[in-house]
A = this chain, B = another copy of it.
């Protein structure tokens, strides 16, 4: 792969930024990576890991001269970072982000950018429950989707170049409109996270069932919820505050369905339950066929024979 951007600046050095650094270096997509993180401790870890060619002590320093700037901070921090870097951006540079919400990021960032840069929001659909600069790895984006959300007037050549970068980091790329992105993600990500957080909180809070019992018997299903409920609290706080309408809409649908199932349980309506549970199996099969999960029983977590 050839070099796509001479210099890339990563603002925020968590799981996504550190994985981008590894992924760009894997196939030589850039000559130089600069980085900045708000916390001095994170900057030091990034330096110790050699995550960037240069870790700078301000966001403005990190973006100076960069051909691509990627904002990898929590959604709630985007506006302040954009305001800080706006005056330091190189004319003609592309500014992108990796936020899980797109409409709010556009509203927060766009006003701070000069007219002579390209603003092209993006969202890689990849992650783990781990966070911080040491948690990244080059393969995070392999065979995962990255959604690019061009804004009005986005330059097609700049969009194409960013698309090529994400493909070079292993992703498949889709293009979507911001509001539709926020609705789709509220279904596939935001609401599931909120529900998982809720269930784990309920389990923690019951006086008649001890934490030790919850933990010992978690393999029965609960465990699957705890992985996503272990994700970064600040990132998720910002996601919900910034994708409020779609999240509340999907939550409304969710509670409506849950109440219907609850009523079926109360009224011994086994046919309703069985029909519902049968329908959901088909979705699981489609996800495996689409390569977005493995068919290994239990995700291969326990000792399972090779197959």
Contact = CB atoms under 8 A, between A and B. Distances in A.
Contact of A216 (B100, B137, B199, B290): B290
A297 B135 contact: yes
Given A216-B145, A218-B293, A277-B197, A139 B305 contact: yes
B292 A216 contact: yes
B140 A237 contact: no
A13 B251 CA distance: 39
A206 interface: yes
Q: Describe A's contact surface by its main secondary structure.
A: helix
Nearest to A176: B213
Contact of A224 (B225, B277, B303): B225
Interface of A: 76, 100, 125-130, 135, 137-140, 142-145, 147, 174, 180, 183-185, 187-206, 208-209, 211, 213-231, 233-234, 236-238, 240-241, 244, 247-248, 250-251, 253-255, 257-258, 261-262, 265-266, 268, 270, 273-274, 276-281, 283-287, 290, 292-294, 297-305
10 contacts: A100-B220, A202-B254, A206-B253, A211-B286, A223-B287, A233-B277, A240-B265, A244-B265, A251-B258, A299-B299
